[in-house]
Amino acid sequence: MKEEIQAAALFDLDGVIIDTESQYSVFWNSQGDTFLGEKEFGRRIKGQTLNQIFDGYFRGREEIQEQIRVALERFERQMSYAYIPGFPEFLTDLYKQGVQTAVVTSSDAKKMENVYRAHPDFTSLFNIILTAEDFTRSKPDPECFRLAMRRLACSPAYSVVFEDSFHGLTAGRDSGARVVGLATTNSRDSISGKCDLVWDDFTGKTWNTLKQEWQE
């Protein structure tokens, strides 16, 4: 009997599952304006973790880091956590097709508590959820996606990464998986060379339409 091949879909969180990136732009533009005199700071740090932002722009400024950390936690408690259009339907189709699913995010456990309050069934929707506490190297390092594949016992050849940020797209590519870029955070043109397919969102998408697009 031929062994059934396991497929896996690995999703970033912000800008892929949850429509939060425009809200984060508001927050980081405000912080950049206040502490750096830069009004469009949010665009500069898209896809970076908090530690990467602190190391790159606020190194040695511990008091400012703490102010930003407290303000960010307060902001995240008040954010909207609406799904990216079409995502719930796409996820339902993956379940019907027997595709394993994972959330692979650099968000920490405290941030995820806000997601779980907004969507009480969230943890039951995925086979695994990996957060910042689960890996030692952040995107663009591919460690997080490779860990998800190992946990799901799925090879890169049968894995698809869904990402929106430049760091995330790089991590997906370097993991060996195929990559779908979501043009929710950056323009289609800016991400098209960094992924295998570009989608605006998940509206009307299914596992079968994804496979058809690979072949076109």
148-198 confidence digits (pLDDT tens): 999 999 999 999 999 999 999 999 999 999 999 999 999 999 999 999 999
- What separation in angstroms does the CA of 51 have from each of 14, 57, 133, 192? 17, 10, 13, 27
Q: Tokens representing 45?
A: 């740090």
**What is the C-alpha to C-alpha distance for residues 4 and 10, in angstroms, rounded to an integer?**
19
Determine the Cα–Cα distance for residues 53 and 181; give it in Å rounded to an integer.
23
Q: Where in the chain is the domain with CATH 3.40.50.1000?
A: 8-20+82-215
Q: What's the mean pLDDT when you consider all of the chain?
A: 95
Residue 210, pLDDT score: 96
Please provide the distance, in angstroms rounded to a whole number, between the alpha carbons at the two ends of the chain: 31
| 48-81 per-position pLDDT tens digit | 999 999 999 999 999 999 999 999 999 999 999 9
> What's the mean pLDDT in 19-29?
95
Q: What's the pLDDT at 47?
A: 85
Write the pLDDT tens digit of every residue in 110-155.
999 999 999 999 999 999 999 999 999 999 999 999 999 999 999 9
Note the pLDDT of residue 139: 95
- Structurally, what CATH architecture does the domain formed by 8-20+82-215 represent? 3-Layer(aba) Sandwich (3.40)
Strands (E), 47-170: 100-104, 128-130, 159-163
Counting Cβ atoms within 10 Å, is residue 197 exposed (0-12), middle (13-18) or buried (19+)?
middle
Q: Which of 18, 216, 175, 179 is CA-nearest to residue 105?
A: 18
Angle subtended at Cα 112 by Cα 30 and Cα 38, rounded to the nearest 5 degrees: 15
